[in-house]
Amino acid sequence: MLKKITIKVLDFFFPRTKTQKKLDNITLEDFYSKARKTTHENKNFIVIFSYEDKLVKEAIQSLKFKNNKKIAKIFAEILYSELLEELSDFEKFSCFKKPILIPIPLSRKRLRERGYNQCEIIAKEMSFLDSDSNFSLEKDVLIKKKDTPPQSRTKNKKERLENLKNCFKIKNSEKIKGRNIILLDDITTTGTTLKEASHVLRKNGAKKIICLTIAH
């Protein structure tokens, strides 16, 4: 009852959009059927939805800035299902066996401000669904050692590259040496974040890396 009253009060002072209200009751099946799908030109990038889709954008923002656990579970189930399909092909043609799932980390400053890492929440949900059958979760191997402005604020490719240059490090390289990696992020635009993280992982001994994101 208290939650319902709080929502009504917030809606009065801070009206939500129709899409935001729809997210409160949306099911996994509804979301998947209504959200616009997309693909990526890079065969090592698995991307499910288009970020230009209003439903997708508001769902990601609800997860990212409001810690919407329901949306996190929906995304985790969709990503997990899509990943299992892709893994069967990767195993056949690239010997991509028993990989490690690594979520893109936040800097310490950003984590303190937000209180959680949305990619880590999704990764934990995916790990729960998988029960170590197809991959294992490592959330403390890849570290973001410096705080950087959001990539959306950069003007061009050069600025994006400079913004993320040397921002990642590996905490324990022994855990990734000779291992295949699934690198998880919520959104990819130019792929700069995932490419920089991949570079650091390979430099520290990782084998093959595929990138998995909700939207592009």
Task: For the chain of 216 residues, list the mean pLDDT of each consecutive stretch of 10.
Answer: 55 61 88 95 93 95 91 97 88 81 95 94 97 94 84 58 81 94 94 93 95 97
* pLDDT of res. 23: 86
- The domains found in the chain, sorted by start residue, are 40-215 (3.40.50.2020)
| Type of residue found at 133 | S
9 contacts: CB under 8 Å, gap ≥ 6: none
* pLDDT of res. 143: 95
Which has the closest alpha carbon to 152: 182, 118, 192? 192
Neighbouring C-beta atoms of residue 157, cutoff 10 Å: 10
* pLDDT of res. 12: 52
Distances (CA, A) of 133 to 93, 119, 164, 173, 180: 20, 20, 33, 23, 15
Q: What is the pTM of this model?
A: 0.86
* pLDDT of res. 50: 97
* pLDDT of res. 165: 79
Is the Cβ–Cβ distance between 175 and 201 less than 8 Å?
no
* pLDDT of res. 56: 96
Distances (CA, A) of 120 to 35, 70, 91, 104, 137: 23, 15, 25, 8, 10
DSSP per-residue codes, 77-116 = HHHHHHHHHHHHHHHHHH---S-EEEEPPPPHHHHHHHSS
Token couple for 75: 């995304």
* pLDDT of res. 170: 96
Neighbouring C-beta atoms of residue 192, cutoff 10 Å: 18
